[in-house]
Structure 1
Amino acid sequence: MSQRFLSLRLAGCCALLVLAGSAGAQAPATKPAALPVSTHDIVQPMLPAQLQDFGAYVDSARKTFDVPGIAVAIVKDGKVVMEQGFGLREIGKSEPVDAHTLFAIASNTKAFTAASLQQLAEQDKLKMDDRVIDHLPWFRMSDPYVTHEMRIRDLLAHRSGLSLGAGDLLYWPPTSYTTKEVVERLRNVPIKNGFRSGYAYDNILFAVATLVIEQASGQSYADYVREHIFKPVGMDESLIDKTYLKPGMDVAIGHAKANFKDLEPVPPMAWLNDPGAGGIYASVHDLAKWMNVQLAGGVLPTKGADGKPVRLFSEDSQQQMWSMLTPITIGKPPIPELVPLVPHFYGYGESWFLSDYRGQRLVWHTGGWPGMVSRVTLVPELHLGVVVLTNQESGAAFNAVTYRVLDAYLNPDQKTAAPLTDWVAVYGKAVKQSEAKADDSLAKHEAARDKNSKPSLPLAQYAGIYRDPWYGDVIISHENGKLRLRFSKTAQLIGTMTPWQHDTFTVHWDDRALNADAFVNFSMDVDGHVREIRMQPISPLTDFSFDFQDLRLTPVKSAAEKE
């Protein structure tokens, strides 16, 4: 995605998202650096009276959650009420965020993938209930029954039986696998739940959806979306992925907390091997157009040569996309102040979350990316939409801004300036509580640690090549008296291993902005040789897409055999 909420980056969304924001996109553990206040507050006659201080409110969210830049667009009754940027594209530089600044929208891309498939269904190039193997005969899941019964619609609904974020390490952080290689490796990704029995957010099945779109259309995913969605909607600024960015373009730079503390820029990432899950870069100016088309039931703003409305997709297609396929368990909010956000219903359709707030149905999604998170929210019956794009990993920030807008429009008496909930303060409290729990988790590990223990083998004997059935090879080398761990297909996953206790080590990645340090546990056979390696993230704030816990690494070659 996108649950670094549980965590947010790719998935950007889980059962707790609507309640508490991203745990991995939290407020800073240290006092945030001073951020510039926007010099352009909002005074627009189309805005409700309760949003006349909106600029100051957004700046409050930026400062509280240490977000350099935020862009917001609001649409109502087919019109753009506002589209505006606040703050900076990158810390330490002067370029401001504006309505045309491009952000990685991550899992908000998934709605474009669903719309593409529905368009192809309307063209009779596929049916949403076709088996995936009807279009990709080589497609395999690890269970033959699931392979046979997986339908195209299932690819969009997070009900496959895969666990949360299963297989994400095949492309997160970026790997050298192709999209087809990612999908081919799906046959070895374990299925841990019943098929269509419950909700677990995934990204890997959107790689399958990407290939289905390409097979059915005869075009690349990028070309299809550009021609059949961006062009008719008028999204002239939007790009499919980072490789289309050019020097001098109006683009936000993502920011992350290195070691969960110090804010720093994150290099842009291209997601070439699963673009249908989260590849798009867009501005709020373009996303305002996208929201208006959604709220119009698929009707485009232009008319055909006959003077009749032109559709991006049919009403029936939209009904399918906005119909619940997978119910989601409604969790208990972490603090009482979040109780008003607890929905009466909650589920997932085709690439959209579905819930309610203040008696109104919400259709929404979020996105999480290295250094950027976002949220798109539609209130269909009010013809209202709001998008919030940020260049820091703070789901709390985009939620606080989103709910301020919703409160202003959903207040039953718009003639009075009734007090609005300060969601910045509420989410700030929830974030602090989440951070405290993360600190407690580490303290428990420290308390259980036997600091006097030593590894059972000389360090050099842990070195070797280890293989997981779905990821591939992980290499441990003995260099200058230390162990170094490298994921063979993932350039960013290189780090130094340090003994923790007995045959458990910690790996600290060279890239400190990953915030994904992990325990590495070696299991021995009866003769004292390494039988298996298991891994797990150290911090509960680590993005779920670092699905180290699903790896089953076994020796391919020992250090001695390598020599």
Structure 2
Amino acid sequence: MTSIARMKQVVISAAALTLASVAPATFAQTVATAPATPSTSQALEGLDAYIEAARQTWQVPGAAVAIVKDDKIVYAKGFGVREEGKPAKVDLDTVFAIGSATKAFTAAALGMLVDEKKIAWDGVVHDYMPSFEMNDPYITSHATVRDLLSHRTGVVTNGNLWYGSGFDRKEIIRRMRFQTESLGFRNQFQYQNEMFIVAGEVVSSVAGTSYDKFIASRIFEPLGMHRSYTSVTELKGLANVATPHVRIDGKMVPIDYRLIDNVGGAGVINSDARDMAQWVRLQLGDGKFEGKQLLAPATLAEMHTGQIVPRGTPSKTFKFTEYGLAWGIQEYRGRKIVQHSGAIDGMQSMVTMLPEKKLGVVVLSNSQPNMLGMAVALRVLDAFIGGPVTDHSAVLKKVSDDAARIAREKAPSPPATPSPPSLPLDRYVGTYSSALLGDVSITLEDGKLLLARPAASATLDQNDKDKFKARWKSPGQASIFGQTPANFTLDPTGQITALELGGDKFTRK
């Protein structure tokens, strides 16, 4: 992984990828020694106070939480405000961006087409959408719908292909053929937003309508999700919408919504807690909602079944982790949970389900980054399981703070006496191009180099000689990526030949 966008996948991310199976003996031992299951009223005791305290711990301006148990919404409440410094409160109808929680909607849409026998999980993507073409012809001819939805194509992700690129979905898919980096087809897990853009466009190609219209008519409408949308443009003029926030100098600062229509099936949905609770009811109801079968039980079960095991350091919280079809699956206290998180500039979401208990939790919040969703979900799971009382918010906050401290300590210090640029600044001005990522323009204004992509811009601060740092002008982008290395390459004659931006190389035109 080379680019900053690949190293920091908080954007539209699955911060908590989830599940693996546990040996039957482990389940049996756990269940045998578990305390008596609390009643719903007992499980909900003290939850208001816990959520409010956790919200303040994570400095989240506002959050909405819904809990589904046995096909009923048993808890639904808003906390805090829609925008820092303003009085309007968050409630169940407050709309938030849900980021990567969108991915499961994409998988469900494809599942409906599986039920109609228009596609198959193991059908070849290129057969359904001939415009799908990867750099490796083997992947082009063998990648399946299942591969797209389980992050196992091996194609290395590059968020810069959609984030700030200005490319639409079709152009993103066309340019994916220029991504030469690979982890090996079906060799290992590689979280991949771009493949979910492809997945959404497979829906469009096969169904003969846009991805957005399919989601609206086949999922939002039958579930009664009347405040759910697939574009931030639909939020203009809408009442009761949460404002995104990022932390700047220790304070939560409101920012604008990022237009991410081009990310399609990977993360375009905006919704509220009431609507998301209906979505959870469908997931926990074997694909049936209020008497109507929207997804075949076997199709839904396949989505909740692990397809690949992500590599990485084992979690102390989750003993086993797999990734299904747009859902993470994990073991928690001897039980299978199904969940997915999401994040985009200033917004985060978490959807967590315990199928055995017909229990689901939705947490939507209007700041990023934070781990409020995970803290609340674990608190709810513990309460309904009858597990030991744990302040998950405090535990996760310490983990987060420790990680931030270690990152600061490891960050390289700038040179004590940096060398000046090799050339006058006006010699760096020009256009730099990548077949994968398009053009980057460098201009000079008031003695500073400025960098621009179609939907992102930055000031270049000189670090040492021909090495600069891109300071992004968008607060959301700055919060996610920090300062991105921007290094110029000179040939032996002193001519600038290339720009390397966060590990991505752009050749000078």
TM-score with structure 2 length normalisation? 0.91
Pairing partner for 1:252 from 238, 242, 265: 242
1:227-279, Cα deviation, whole Å (9 max, x unpaired): 11111122122112211114242211110123x63321121223221221111
1:5-84 → structure 2 map (5 Å cutoff): 7-13=9-15, 47-84=40-77
CA RMSD of aligned residues (A): 2.1
> What is the Cα deviation at residue 191 of structure 1?
2.7
1:8/1:395 contact within 8 Å kept: no
**Alpha-carbon shift at residue 554 of structure 1 (Å):** 0.8
Once residues 265 and 327 of structure 1 are traced to their aligned partners in structure 2, the CA distance between those partners, rounded to angstroms, is 37
Q: Distance in 2 between matches of 1:261 and 1:190?
A: 40
1:327 is paired with a residue whose SS is coil
* Deviation sequence 1:6-61 (CA, Å, 0-9, x none): 5422113356999xxxxxxxxxxxxxxxxxxxxxxxxxx97442532111111111
Q: SS of the counterpart of 1:326?
A: coil
Q: Closer, same or farther in 2 for the Cα pair 1:526/1:394, shift >3 Å?
A: closer
Query: 2:318 matched to 1:342?
Result: yes
Is 1:451 matched with 2:427? no
Tell me if structure 2 keeps the 8 A contact 1:222–1:240.
yes
CA shift, 1:78, in A, is: 1.3
Is the contact made by 1:241 and 1:275 (CA closer than 8 Å) also made in structure 2? no
Which runs of structure 2 are paired with 1:72-151 in the superposition (5 Å)? 72-151=65-144
2:30 aligns with none
User: What letter is aligned with 1:468?
Assistant: S
Structure 1 residues 14 and 396: CA distance shift in structure 2, 3 A = closer
1:322 aligns with 2:304: yes
Q: Which runs of 4+ in 1 moved over 4 A?
A: 3-7, 14-18
Instruction: From the superposition, tell whether residues 225 and 319 of structure 1 become closer, same or farther in structure 2 (CA, over 3 Å).
Output: same
Structure 1 residue aligned with 2:200, among 210, 220, 234? 210
Q: Kindly tell me: are residues 232 and 50 of structure 1, through their superposed partners in 2, closer, same or farther at Cα, counting changes over 3 Å?
A: closer
> Are 2:318 and 2:330, in contact at CA under 8 Å, matched by a contact in 1?
no
Aligned partners of 1:499 and 1:505 also within 8 Å:
yes
The letter of the residue matching 2:159 is D
CA change 1:376–1:530 in 2 (3 A) is same
Q: Return the alpha-carbon distance in structure 2 between the equivalents of residues 502 and 321 of structure 1.
A: 51
1:208, distance to aligned residue in structure 2 (A): 0.9
- Sort the Cα spacing of 1:498 and 1:113 in 2 relative to 1 into closer, same or farther, 3 A: same
Among residues 244, 259, 264, which one is paired with 1:270 in the alignment?
259
Matched residue, 2:28: none
Query: Does structure 2 conserve the Cα–Cα contact (< 8 Å) formed by 1:131 and 1:150?
Result: yes
- In the alignment, the residues of structure 2 paired with residue 512 and residue 246 of structure 1 have an alpha-carbon distance, to the nearest angstrom, of 21
Judge conservation of contact 2:61–2:252 (CA < 8 Å) in 1. Answer: no
* Counterpart for residue 460 of structure 1: 426
Aligned partner (choices 403, 406, 430) of residue 399 of structure 2 = 430
Contact 2:487 2:499 in 1 (8 A): yes
1:492-511 alignment, distance < 5 Å? 493-511=456-474
Query: Structure 1: which 5+ runs fail to align?
Result: 19-44, 303-309, 334-338, 413-418, 537-548, 557-563
**Structure 1 126/16 Cα, relative in aligned 2: closer, same or farther at 3 Å?**
closer
Alignment partner, residue 229 of structure 1: 219
3-state SS in 1 of match to 2:413: helix
Change (3 A) 1:298 1:131: same
Q: Give the 3 Å change call, closer, same or farther, for CA 68–485 of structure 1 in structure 2.
A: same
Percent of aligned pairs with the same residue?
35
Please give the secondary structure, in 1, of the residue aligned with 2:190. coil
The corresponding residue for 1:168 is 159
- Structure 1 position 280, deviation (Å): 0.8
Is 2:495 the counterpart of 1:529? yes
Q: How does 1:293-442 map to 2 (within 5 A)?
A: 293-302=282-291, 310-333=292-315, 339=316, 341-343=317-319, 345-411=320-386, 420-442=389-411
Distance across 1 between alignment mates of 2:418 and 2:231: 49
Report deviation, 1:5: 9.7
Superposed CA deviations along residues 79-112 of structure 1, whole A, max 9, x for unmatched, are: 1111111110111111111111111111111111
Residue segments in structure 2 that go unaligned for 5+ positions in a row: 21-37
Deviation per CA, 1:420-472, whole angstroms, max 9, x where unpaired? 11112111211211121121133x333xx252412111111111110012011
Secondary structure at the aligned position of 2:167 is classed as: coil
Give the partner amino acid of 1:10. Answer: I
Using a 3 Å threshold, how does the CA distance of structure 1 residues 4 and 505 change in structure 2: closer, same or farther? Answer: closer
Deviation, structure 1 residue 480: 2.5
Q: 1:241 aligns with which of 216, 231, 238?
A: 231
Q: For residues 378-430 of structure 1, what are the alpha-carbon distances to aligned partners after superposition, in whole Å with 9 as ceiling and x for unaligned?
A: 11111111111111113421111111101101125xxxxxx611112111211
Once the two structures are overlaid, the 10-residue window that deviates more, 208-217 or 505-514, is 505-514
- The 1:5/1:252 distance shift into structure 2, 3 A limit, reads farther
Residues of 1 paired with 2:490 and 2:446: CA distance?
25
> 1:167: Cα distance to partner?
2.9
Aligned residues: 485
Q: Distance in 1 between matches of 2:484 and 2:179?
A: 20
How far did residue 330 of structure 1 move? 4.9
